[in-house]
Amino acid sequence: MAAAGGCAPMVAQAPFPARADTVVPGDLLGPFDGQVVDAVSGKPVAGAIVQASWSFETGRGLTAPAGGHVQTVATDGEGKYEIDRLSDLPSARSRVNGVAVVIYQRGYVAYRSDRLFDNALGGARSRHDFSQRNNVAKMERWSGAYSHVKHVRFVGGTSTLRRALGSEVVEASLELTSGRVAAAPAGEPEGTAPLDASGLLSIDELRAVTGYIGPFAIEKLGDLPTTGSYDSRHFKATGRAESYDAALRVWRTSPTAAEARYAKLLAEVPHAEAKDEMADRSLRGRDGRIIAVAALDRAHGVVIELTCGLDQCRDANQAAALLRRVMSRADRLGSPGIKTTEEPATEGAPEESPKSPSTPNSPSSVEPKAAEPDTTPPPAPSEDKPFQLKRPEMKR
């Protein structure tokens, strides 16, 4: 803790920098300023609610909450905001232990200074690109595949934000009572065949690369439902910590949208570095004991991210070796936007069909064969706008 001066309360060190171009820590007390823009178009977002919430605590060793303070402003016509330095300080017996800046505008995924919205976890992943001054808050457009329940919980805030969230609260109630499945992302044709990533990596191949011999269960990740442009696989090590897990997230879309998707990963994966060691472009990143590698295959409109715990993959080189195998099969995913017109596969379908999902805890040593190419010309794909990108956590 650092003293604010004299008999003033103690103030914790800020986890964010003073500016984006410096490593000098910011000041929890403020002031804060920046601009809110659309993440795709770069245009300013006017009239967005920007709220700073400070929290206080008291006690030594065993601490307890001691109240807080809130300031709320709105962005101007250029999407800019300014929040004054905290003046309503707690008593000298208390400490300022944190601040969160929340930005909300209907039609967008809310922006928080402390964490990113994760449709799987409701926003449990830390943000690393916020700065106290001259901050640029890029707002992602809302997707129909996101959960309003998780989003409302993620936003939090005081009465001003709750009033702005009014229509979303109604949607969240309907989501809870009806249990309805989220709609397909905007621009994805009705009847689009769901993407199937089951043939990209088998348990046997995972074991062959990492040397791990324990059992796995194969599940879907909990971030988004499978659609025509997204699928996932979670190789969950039975009875082990998440650092033994591995996971795939797969997007298949237009070449332009795939490039945009990869750019978001490069910007948001913790400690990401461009390596360009496979496919058209590739990166490596790391968050604690989780390694992340991702690659772009522009010709097929495919982006694949692989995450692997350090007790499964010993290092980033091993994770990259896994991803190379996966990327070599990107052409098996076909083209986006093809409607389902074929009869479903029968129970006796061969295991090598890429549409036959792996069975948990029973790895197959038969490598899937590529599906025959579909000669039906697909409709022009639209650039999907899924949720704020981030490396999937291993705990699902």
Q: What is the pLDDT of residue 316?
A: 94
pLDDT at 74: 92
- How far from chain centre, in Å, is Cα 373? 32
Positive or negative: CA dihedral 206, 277, 382, 104: positive
Q: Are 306 and 293 in contact (CB under 8 A)?
A: yes
The whole domain housing 131 covers 2-178
Please answer whether residues 192 and 231 qualify as being in contact, where contact means their C-beta atoms are separated by less than 8 angstroms. Answer: no
Residue 194 belongs to a domain with what CATH number?
3.40.1000
Residues 97-119 have a mean pLDDT of: 90
Same domain, 278 and 375: yes
210 φ, ψ to 5°?
-90, -25
Cβ proximity of 388 and 123 under 8 Å: no
- Tell me the pLDDT tens digit for each residue of 207-261: 999 999 999 888 887 666 677 788 888 898 988 888 899 999 999 988 998 999 9
What average pLDDT does range 162-185 have in this prediction? 69
Q: Give percent of the chain with pLDDT exceeding 90.
A: 38
The whole-angstrom separation of Cα 270 and Cα 287 is: 6
What CATH number does the domain containing 112 carry? 2.60.40.1120
Q: Clarify whether residues 300 and 380 are in a common domain.
A: yes
Instruction: Tell me, yes or no, whether 379 and 354 share the same domain.
Output: yes
Residues 174 and 192 in one domain: no
- Domain annotation covers residue 234: yes
What are the residue ranges of helices labelled H in 114-241? 148-155, 159-164, 166-178, 203-210
Q: H-helix or E-strand containing 259?
A: helix 255-268
One domain, residues 307 and 221: yes
Q: Is residue 345 part of a domain?
A: no
Q: Are 165 and 191 in a shared domain?
A: no
Q: Which of 147, 178, 209 is the last residue in one of the domains?
A: 178
164 and 283, same domain (yes or no): no
Least confident of 80-89, 90-99, 160-169, 191-200: 191-200
Segment 73-79 shows an average pLDDT of 92
More confident residue, 366 or 65: 65
Q: In the prediction, which pLDDT does 61 show? A: 64
Percentage of the chain surpassing pLDDT 70? 74
13 and 94 together in one domain: yes
364 domain-assigned: yes
Is pLDDT of 390 > 60? no
56 pLDDT higher than 80: yes
Contact present, 333 and 302 (Cβ < 8 Å): yes
Q: What is the dihedral of CA 121, 143, 225, 273, to 10 degrees?
A: -60
Find out whether the peptide bond into 90 is cis, omega within 30 degrees of 0.
Answer: no
Q: Which of 160, 178, 196 represents a domain boundary (last residue)?
A: 178
Structural contact between residues 336 and 310, judged by C-beta atoms closer than 8 angstroms: no
Domain co-membership, 166 together with 245: no
320 shares its domain with 335:
yes
Residue range 309-325: mean pLDDT, rounded: 94
* Residue 326, in any domain of the structure: yes
How many domains does the structure of the chain reveal?
Answer: 2
Angle at 365 between CA 361 and CA 366, to 5 degrees: 120
Q: Is the pTM of this model over 0.85?
A: no
Asked if residue 199 belongs to a domain, the reply is: yes
- 171 within some domain: yes
Q: Tokens at residue 193, please?
A: 């065949």
Average pLDDT, the chain: 78
